Structure 1
Amino acid sequence: MGNLGQRLTLTPFFQGKLKLYQPEKGYRFGIDALLLAHFLKLKPGEKALEVGAGSGIVSLIAALKQPKAKIFALELDPLFLQCLKLNSQLNLLENSLFSLKGNIARNPFRKEVFDVVFSNPPYFKPGCGRQSPDELKNLAKRETRAGLKEFLKAVAGVLKNRGRLYLIFTALRTAELMASLKEVRLEPKVLRFVHSYPGDQARFILVEAVKQAGEETLVLPPLFIYQEKGGPYTTEVREMLKGV
């Protein structure tokens, strides 16, 4: 199905506990979205925003884990918005997950309205990384609409004092990310580096930052996706794939 010139496929997830429509071709969610969803912590009654939600996999997992939170999934692309609405209905989450069309760089929200913001933002600057012929992939992985500093400034504006930001980002830009967070008074409080397998360099960094917090930072043990190069998933990742 899909009425915007692109077929959508239905993917069962978490052993069928979650069903997800996403585009048949082009950008489909990866392991980084799953890692972010399990790093994210929501409390009952909190108001959360996902920036650049795509088909909604992170927000869907978050809503299943914490059904008493209110989650707003912000997305600009019409095809992904269609997926978001279908996925919210299909998984009976219409009372806790709401899709919104918009761009955080043109901030559609009042100041300091969210307890939590989470995002899997584009990893590459314009001109960096391999260019894809698929425009949705480029939007998802390359800063075409807002740079990192502009993105973080907008996020800081919508977060309440002591509100939390959860990100997964490329480890290659860790120094830039830390400096940019501190510039907008988002203090990195919890960090976890993600490696493909033991002995490999860090590929991603998971970050929890708190608005207007003190300067102590907890660095968690590394997360390994695979037991070895070319090997099976680690026990931790296998447990994530089983679901909530």
Structure 2
Amino acid sequence: MPPFTIEYFFNEKLSICQPKEGYRFSVDPFALCGEVHPRPGDKIMDIGCGCGIIPLILCLKTPALCITAVEIQKELADIAGENIIKNHRQNQITVHHKDITQMTPSDIPGPQDIIISNPPYIKKNHGRINPHPQKATARHELTLTLDTLIKIASKWLKPHGTFHTIYPVSRLPELLGALSREKMTLETLRFIHPQKKEKAKLFMVKAGKHQNNAITIPPPLYLDTPGEQAGSAL
């Protein structure tokens, strides 16, 4: 394994190993997990799990989950597997080193109650590609576009299952169009601001399959407010 660091969260209930020089998670997984409220026994898929931070946070929130974590990059998938073992979650989380578009029913324990993804943000053929291959794949739509992500979510969700993701504000119209094409309905839209006096940079959505609920827009999330980051995930 290449050089790595270990971070501890939630009063050291969770320890996470991640590459020292490669792709490293930010506050996004914590913010996203704060919007997801699984029930015991739920089947969950994390698309692009990286080092496994999202599945591990969700297992802290809710007991007896069955999580399928998918990661296309072998190095990150291997680290996720190590993190799952280290945190004693082998009976709840299964990591697949695979392209999500190549997953088959034999890889997944049935339709999913929840699908979650902290996806590549930067649109295909836009922006300067990061020279570090691991960072490039995690941040740019080299292997997974927004349209493909929504199609995959629609394919593997149960009727009335929910999909959760996070994107830059500039991509909101594109995401709404992709949801509409897959007959998925926006349920919750929450904006994320770096500070109270700054414009929103990101948004999080919860979308339902075959639902027609009214849209809820909760108060914004301000990242400079104490307790609004890692603590909000539990």
Q: TM-score scaled by structure 2?
A: 0.93
CA displacement at 1:238 relative to structure 2 = 6.1
> Quick check: 1:104–1:155 contact (8 Å CA) kept in 2?
no
Correspondence 1:8 to 2:40: no
What is the alpha-carbon distance in structure 2 between the residues aligned to residue 100 and residue 67 of structure 1?
Answer: 21
Aligned twin of 1:223: 221
List per-residue Cα deviations over 1:42-85 (Å, max 9, x = no partner). 11111000000000111110011112111111111111111111
List per-residue Cα deviations over 1:109-163 (Å, max 9, x = no partner). 3796111100011111123234211111111111111321122111100111111
Deviates more, 1:121-130 or 1:95-104: 121-130
Unaligned 5+ runs, structure 1? 227-232
How do 1:124-203 residues align onto structure 2 when only pairs under 5 Å count? Answer: 124-203=122-201
List per-residue Cα deviations over 1:90-110 (Å, max 9, x = no partner). 111111111112222233337
1:40–1:130 distance in 2 versus 1, CA, 3 Å: farther
Q: CA RMSD in A?
A: 1.7
Unaligned 5+ runs, structure 2? none
> In structure 2, what residue type is equivalent to 1:19?
S
What is the alpha-carbon distance in structure 1 between the residues aligned to residue 216 and residue 105 of structure 2?
Answer: 31
> Quick check: 1:9–1:24 contact (8 Å CA) kept in 2?
yes
What is the alpha-carbon distance in structure 2 between the residues aligned to residue 237 and residue 14 of structure 1?
Answer: 11
> In structure 2, what residue type is equivalent to 1:122?
P
CA displacement at 1:8 relative to structure 2 = 2.5
Aligned twin of 1:239: 231
> Quick check: 2:120–2:144 contact (8 Å CA) kept in 1?
no
CA displacement at 1:187 relative to structure 2 = 0.7
Q: What is the number of equivalent residue pairs in this alignment?
A: 232
> In structure 1, what residue type is equivalent to 2:93?
L
> Quick check: 1:102–1:108 contact (8 Å CA) kept in 2?
no
What is the alpha-carbon distance in structure 2 between the residues aligned to residue 175 and residue 138 of structure 1?
Answer: 24
1:238–1:106 distance in 2 versus 1, CA, 3 Å: closer
Correspondence 1:93 to 2:85: no
Q: TM-score scaled by structure 1?
A: 0.89
Aligned twin of 1:211: 209
> In structure 2, what residue type is equivalent to 1:166?
H
What is the alpha-carbon distance in structure 2 between the residues aligned to residue 26 and residue 130 of structure 1?
Answer: 17
What is the alpha-carbon distance in structure 1 between the residues aligned to residue 97 and residue 204 of structure 2?
Answer: 26
What is the alpha-carbon distance in structure 2 between the residues aligned to residue 212 and residue 170 of structure 1?
Answer: 25
Which of 87, 98, 103 is residue 99 of structure 2 equivalent to?
103
